[in-house]
């Protein structure tokens, strides 16, 4: 047994025992794609599989400024009051809980920082293979193994990231703010399709009723088995947060009873394995032979099918001929 694998095992054991610093370090390894990260994942992953109850993974997405961090803070407080251990992953290149955090956020999160039942971590892309899409599910698995009851994943709702995170969550909360423009934007971006619960935050604003009606009308058109409820919140005062938790509990129950939880977790694992395999294949195939074959294809001396077969054969992969 080498020193590094002993170190890995000790780190994993400390993380599993609830040592927040060890857990933070394990997640850094995962995030950086360090060699140690892989064995930590193996150790933690096995432990996660042995747990009788798994963590609930709740994703929060929505436009910047919609109130995701404020809602997350309020949820942490409410879930802690029920005695649940809560982990927060803020997945945002602009690091909402560190450098880019508002003063108010920092003050609130400092309140939770003294609580051993709360773990907060922001994840930023460091340009690794697969980036955040690869690191986030692994970090979720580590937190699950460490015994958290709930994992809240906040992600900034722009572009592809939100869809990736949605596939990593059991329940996805889409946060919008009052105003027709926003809800139409949300619909256009396809976020309504990923929403399990819709939150109209900043319900202290006058356009709230119109937006709620608008969203309810859209939901009513859905033929899905689960129709996302529309919840209003004023996150800054925690108004509506208990209602949100009620709907999340109802969704969790539906997920378990309908078999959808199992289906989602399998789909998530499938995406994760496939993304990792694609990454490995891509790096195995990228090299001088690819450049040579590409040159031949460009010059019209080789057809691309034959080139791809030769490339695959060079890496020991065989594909059935069409």
Ligand X SMILES: Nc1nc2c(ncn2[C@@H]2O[C@H](COP(=O)(O)OP(=O)(O)O)[C@@H](O)[C@H]2O)c(=O)[nH]1
Show the site string, 35-64: x = touches ligand X by CB under 6 A, - = not: ---------------------------x-x
Task: List the interface residues with ligand X, window 148-207 (CB under 6 A).
Answer: 201-202, 204
Instruction: Report the candidate in 160, 47, 41 with the shortest Cα–Cα distance to residue 93.
Output: 160
Of ligand X, Mg ion, none, which one does residue 121 interact with (CB within 5 to 8 Å by kind)?
none
Among the listed residues 186, 234, 244, 311, the single contact to ligand X using CB under 6 A: 234
Stretch that binds Mg ion, among 24-32, 67-75, 207-215, 305-313 (CB under 5 A): 67-75
228: left (phi over 0), alpha (psi -120 to 50) or beta: beta
CA distance readout (Å), 152 to 102, 129, 263:
19, 24, 20
The residue among 47 and 175 lying less far from Mg ion, judged by its C-beta, is 175
Long-range CB pairs of 248-254, under 8 A, 24+ apart, other chains included: 248/58, 248/171, 248/173, 248/197, 251/171, 251/196, 251/197, 251/226, 252/56, 252/170, 252/171, 254/226
Determine whether 268 is exposed, middle or buried from the number of CB atoms within 10 Å of its CB (0-12, 13-18, 19+).
middle
How many residues bind to ligand X according to rule CB under 6 A? 18
**9: helix, strand or coil:** helix
Among the listed residues 67, 96, 228, 240, the single contact to Mg ion using CB under 5 A: 96
CB of residue 107 to ligand X, shortest distance in Å: 11
How many residues bind to Mg ion according to rule CB under 5 A? 3
Q: Which letter does DSSP use for residue 147 in this model? A: T
By CB under 6 A, is residue 100 in contact with ligand X?
no
Task: Provide the token pair at 83.
Answer: 């005695």
By CB under 5 A, is residue 233 in contact with Mg ion?
no
By CB under 5 A, is residue 62 in contact with Mg ion?
no
Q: Which residues bind ligand X (CB under 6 A)?
A: 62, 64-70, 96, 102, 104-105, 201-202, 204, 234-236
Residues that bind Mg ion (CB under 5 A): 68-69, 96
């Amino acid at each position: 047994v080498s020193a590094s694998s002993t170190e890995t095992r000790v780190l994993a054991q400390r993380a599993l025992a609830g040592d927040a610093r060890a857990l933070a370090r394990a997640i850094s390894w995962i995030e950086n794609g360090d060699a140690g990260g892989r064995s930590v994942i193996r150790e933690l992953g096995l432990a996660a599989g042995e747990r009788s109850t798994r963590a609930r993974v709740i994703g929060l997405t929505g436009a910047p400024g919609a109130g995701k961090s404020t809602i997350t803070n309020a949820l942490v407080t409410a879930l802690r009051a029920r005695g649940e251990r809560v982990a927060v992953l803020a997945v945002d290149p602009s690091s909402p809980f560190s450098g880019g955090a508002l003063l108010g956020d920092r003050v609130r999160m400092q309140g939770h920082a003294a609580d051993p039942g709360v773990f907060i971590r922001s994840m930023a892309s460091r340009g690794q293979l697969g980036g955040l899409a690869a690191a986030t599910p692994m970090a979720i698995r580590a937190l699950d193994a460490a015994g958290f009851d709930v994992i809240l994943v906040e992600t900034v709702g722009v572009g592809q990231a939100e869809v990736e995170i949605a596939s990593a969550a059991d329940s996805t909360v889409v946060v919008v703010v009052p105003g027709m423009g926003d809800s139409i934007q949300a619909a256009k971006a396809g976020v309504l399709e990923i929403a399990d619960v819709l939150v109209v935050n900043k319900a202290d604003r006058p356009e709230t009723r119109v937006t709620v009606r608008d969203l309810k009308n859209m939901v009513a058109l859905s033929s899905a088995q689960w129709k996302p409820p529309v919840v209003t919140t004023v996150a800054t005062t925690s108004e509506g947060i208990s209602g949100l938790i009620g709907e999340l509990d109802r969704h969790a129950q539906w997920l378990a009873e309908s078999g959808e939880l199992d289906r989602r977790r399998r789909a998530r694992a499938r995406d994760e394995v496939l993304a990792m395999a694609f990454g490995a294949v891509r790096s195995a195939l990228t090299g001088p032979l690819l450049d040579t074959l590409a040159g031949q294809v460009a010059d019209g001396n080789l057809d691309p099918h034959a080139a791809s077969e030769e490339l695959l054969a060079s890496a020991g992969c065989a594909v059935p001929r069409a």
